Amino acid sequence: MNFDFDWSSLLSSALTISGRILLLIILFLIIKPIGKKLITGLMNQVASKQKLSEGRKKTLSNLLLNVYSYVLIFLFVAMLLPIFNIPIAPLLAGAGIIGLAIGFGAQGLVSDIVTGFFILIEKQIDVDDYVTAGGENGIVEELGLRTTQIRSFDGTLNYIPNRYIQNVNNHTRGNMRALVDFGIAYEENIDHVTQVIQKVCDEMSENPLIKEGPDVVGVQSLDDSQVTLRVIAQTEKNEQFGIERELRKRIKEALDENNIEIPYPHQVNVPKS
């Protein structure tokens, strides 16, 4: 390739070896401090937020800075050598092996962030929601791109990397159902019991936490020793447990008052003939 000599001197020298080396050095002199500042800044921010001890902060940011330096040196050498016509394919192949391991090992991190991004943007979860996600059940304390923190009702704080969140079950998006099953003896009259319990339900229905019902929906099953009836109500969110406890107490007392038997397990004893 013969290029005309009337080009600007800058471009011309850029094609000489010395010019290319110079350009490369300048490039790395620009990039190095930028990256260093970025890492230190990020670490300081995280450290102050998480109240990391000075020691751990130093260890972790040194780790990052070391890795950063090694990567830069490798890149510089690998970009310099071909200028001297020294082949770097074997070098790249070697780096590729490490890269493969890193790429696979780090995919979890990307997965966390992608999942986290969509949880945030689709507003699947808000702080203070009562949710079941990633196998944990409780109140959301913090939402992050990488990790979601859920406080279980027993006080445990659960850190869930977002990639382990598959379905999100949000229990605070609308009214919740209170459901109470109770058994009566096979000897009882179903219609009579339904009337008695429906009266209890009607009294309960004035509770402002209850949005709909409660109602006796019917015979849920014919069990071994009892006929099981079901009562259902719609309550304000997070109030379903309290309403269920109240319902259970009132149903039990109403059955007692009306001498309706709540049966124990039964067994017919057959004498050996």
The footprint of a second copy on residues 102-121 (CB under 8 A) is 102-115, 117-118, 120-121
Q: Which of 39, 65, 95, 254 binds a second copy (CB under 8 A)?
A: 95
Q: Is 24 in the site for a second copy (CB under 8 A)?
A: yes
Shortest distance, position 27 Cβ to a second copy, whole Å: 8
Q: Which two tokens stand for residue 3?
A: 């290029």
Amino acid at 20: R
Shortest distance, position 199 Cβ to a second copy, whole Å: 19
* 129 three-state secondary structure: coil
Judging by DSSP bridges, how do beta strands 176-184 and 227-235 pair with one another? antiparallel
Judging by DSSP bridges, how do beta strands 157-161 and 227-235 pair with one another? unpaired
DSSP secondary structure, 196-219, as one string: HHHHHHHHHTTSTTEEEEEEEEEE
Number of residues that bind a second copy (CB under 8 A): 136
Q: Is 222 in the site for a second copy (CB under 8 A)?
A: yes
Q: Is 238 in the site for a second copy (CB under 8 A)?
A: no
* Torsion angles phi and psi, residue 187, rounded to 5: -80, -20
Q: Which of residues 180-199 bind a second copy (CB under 8 A)?
A: 182-183, 186, 190
Q: Is 135 in the site for a second copy (CB under 8 A)?
A: yes
Q: Is 225 in the site for a second copy (CB under 8 A)?
A: yes
Q: Are 109 and 129 in contact (CB under 8 A)?
A: no
Q: Is 167 in the site for a second copy (CB under 8 A)?
A: yes
Q: Distance between CA atoms of 210 and 93, rounded to whole angstroms?
A: 67
Q: Is 127 in the site for a second copy (CB under 8 A)?
A: no
